[in-house]
Structure 1
Amino acid sequence: MLGYLIKRVLQSILVLLCVSIVVFAIMYLSGDPTEMLLPPEATQKQVEELRHHLGLDQPFFVQYKTFMASALQGDLGKSFVFNKPAIGLIVERIPATMELAVFAMVLAVIIGLPAGMYAAVKPDSWLAKAIMSGSLLGISLPVFWLGIILVLIFSVILGWLPSSGRGETEVIFGIRLGFVTWSGFKHLLLPALTIAVFQLALIVRLVRAGMLEVLLQDFVKFLRAKGLSAGKVVYIHALKNILIPVVTIIGLQLGNIIAFAVVTESIFAWPGMGKLVIESIHALDRPVVLAYLLIVSLLFVFLNFLVDVVYTFLDPRIRLK
């Protein structure tokens, strides 16, 4: 286990190094942030003074060396726009994004797992056919279009749910959460549902395919021959054999939601990391973009490690090496 942890730590360092080089190079080639920070009537002298103040007048490798020296001390730089530590701006937005991502994934799993199992156990029923048709539709719908339609129906036409913002929040264990208040919960529903639809459809199709394969295996026939009820065979023994690919997809998709919930957060004005990084990209705010991508990369590494650990509980034959 210790050797596995050391290997994962070294892999994480290499991933973060590669991400920092690629992103720093892209942002370096994207343009001059001073053009976004200064008014159009600014003089050339003012532009040069600002570029010197931000260190943008140095060659690429000098700028990257300065960034890495500060990063190794836990300083990812100050935002060009907000003049605050970039990592602080990201950390402030993490709870909102995590709340949205986790709630959407929980919603997808709670509905998708039993729906996929039912579609496999009774594939010829009208409900199973409806589930599979709905899953195909859910995978095909663009997220931005779905979000707009949900706002139109539930906010504009019916007036049931708010269309933007996070609502009231409460601080629990030092973390500001919205779902614990009625206002926050109502604000959370539409963006979470927008994200959950694709994840739900993906889980349904994955669970159905895995369950259909498992139900044809010999051990299932043996359990049925022993007289076990259909419920125990399906929901206990067969379910255990499909959980590993399901857990893999959940881990990967949770990371994707956290990293790429940009469209949903923009549509619903959700104050998360995605909305902040889009604004920072438009303003060429390099420190914020770098801090965001490094934190997201680290989060992906952690989620992959967590999935590997869960494997060992689902299947005792798996060992971390």
Structure 2
Amino acid sequence: MVTFLRKRALTSLLPLVVVLLGVFFLARLTGDPASLYLPENATEAQKETFRAVNGLDLPVWQQLIDYLQGILRLDFGTSLSTGESAAAMALRAFPATLQLAITTMLIAVVLAVVIGSWAAYRPNSLADRFASFLSMTAASVPDFWLAIMGVWVFAVMLGVLPTSGVDAGLLSWVLPIATLLLRPVGVLTQVVRGAMVAALSAPYVRLARSK
């Protein structure tokens, strides 16, 4: 058991390191943080001060070492835009994130069971093909594109839903839930349909129907 856990820990360590390095280098490919976060009329002296305060004037290898050492100490730094601790910001958003994830998965499971069972009741029928087409499409739509289009259509063009925040009550949950719901419903519907088709064609089910 200990050997298995050690192997799994080592196997999971490599993707974690890749993600950490990817975050570090991708953040530096977006441009000079001093130009991104300071006002457009900021002087060069103000930019130099900003870089010095946030350690951005150091060589990249030194920034990487400081970044990894901070992660090992569970110190994820501060926000460049607000100056607030990154860990505090994440913890403040965690309850809403957890509530959104639980709500989305509950709705996804219910819809997947209903749609998958409906499709499996008559395999290869029009309803089955239609449900399979919709589920495959839902599982293939990129979440980020759906989120952008949802904000553009329903928040910007129609103005019926908020673009962000939770101040609008239940309306604030519509776009996030709809965006996160589509892919799980598509994947789970395919799983439920396959399991239901296999179960309905089992010998004991055919015997029960014949009786």
TM over 0.5: yes
Matched, 1:199 2:202: no
In the TM superposition, what is the alpha-carbon distance from 1:80 to its structure 2 partner? 1.4
**Inter-partner Cα distance in structure 1 for 2:137 and 2:15:** 35
In the TM superposition, what is the alpha-carbon distance from 1:8 to its structure 2 partner? 2.8
- Specify the code of the residue in structure 2 equivalent to 1:204: T
Partner residue of 1:26?
Answer: 26
Structure 1 residues 187-266: aligned runs within 5 Å: 187-213=172-198, 215-216=200-201, 220-221=202-203, 223-224=204-205, 227-228=207-208
**Inter-partner Cα distance in structure 1 for 2:14 and 2:126:** 51
Partner residue of 2:87?
Answer: 87
More relative contact order, 1 or 2 (CA 8 Å, 6+ apart): 1
DSSP-derived class of the 1:123 partner: coil
Partner residue of 2:69?
Answer: 69
In the TM superposition, what is the alpha-carbon distance from 1:110 to its structure 2 partner? 0.8
**Inter-partner Cα distance in structure 2 for 1:18 and 1:128:** 41
Matched, 1:104 2:107: no
Of all paired residues, the percent bearing the same amino acid is 27
Q: In 2 relative to 1, CA 229–214 (structure 1 residues): closer, same or farther, beyond 3 Å?
A: closer
Say if 2:150 and 2:175, in contact at 8 Å, map to a contact too.
Answer: no
The superposition leaves residues 184-239 of structure 1 with CA deviations (integer Å, 9 ceiling, x where unpaired) of 5x5424531343233223322332234334544xxx21x246x5469xxxxxxxxx
In the TM superposition, what is the alpha-carbon distance from 1:43 to its structure 2 partner? 2.8
**Inter-partner Cα distance in structure 1 for 2:62 and 2:104:** 43
In the TM superposition, what is the alpha-carbon distance from 1:124 to its structure 2 partner? 6.1
Partner residue of 1:53?
Answer: 53
Instruction: Return 5+ residue gaps in structure 1 as ranges.
Output: 157-161, 169-182, 231-321
- Specify the code of the residue in structure 1 equivalent to 2:193: R
Say if 1:120 and 1:209, in contact at 8 Å, map to a contact too.
Answer: yes
- Specify the code of the residue in structure 2 equivalent to 1:78: T
DSSP-derived class of the 2:110 partner: helix
**Inter-partner Cα distance in structure 1 for 2:95 and 2:86:** 16
In the TM superposition, what is the alpha-carbon distance from 1:36 to its structure 2 partner? 2.2
Q: What root-mean-square deviation, in Å, do the aligned CA atoms of Structure 1 and Structure 2 show?
A: 3.3
Structure 1 residues 261-272: aligned runs within 5 Å: none
Instruction: Return 5+ residue gaps in structure 2 as ranges.
Output: none
Partner residue of 1:38?
Answer: 38
In the TM superposition, what is the alpha-carbon distance from 1:61 to its structure 2 partner? 0.8
Q: Give the count of matched residue pairs.
A: 204
In the TM superposition, what is the alpha-carbon distance from 1:94 to its structure 2 partner? 2.1
Q: With structure 2 as the length reference, what TM-score do the two structures score?
A: 0.76
In the TM superposition, what is the alpha-carbon distance from 1:73 to its structure 2 partner? 1.2
DSSP-derived class of the 2:77 partner: coil
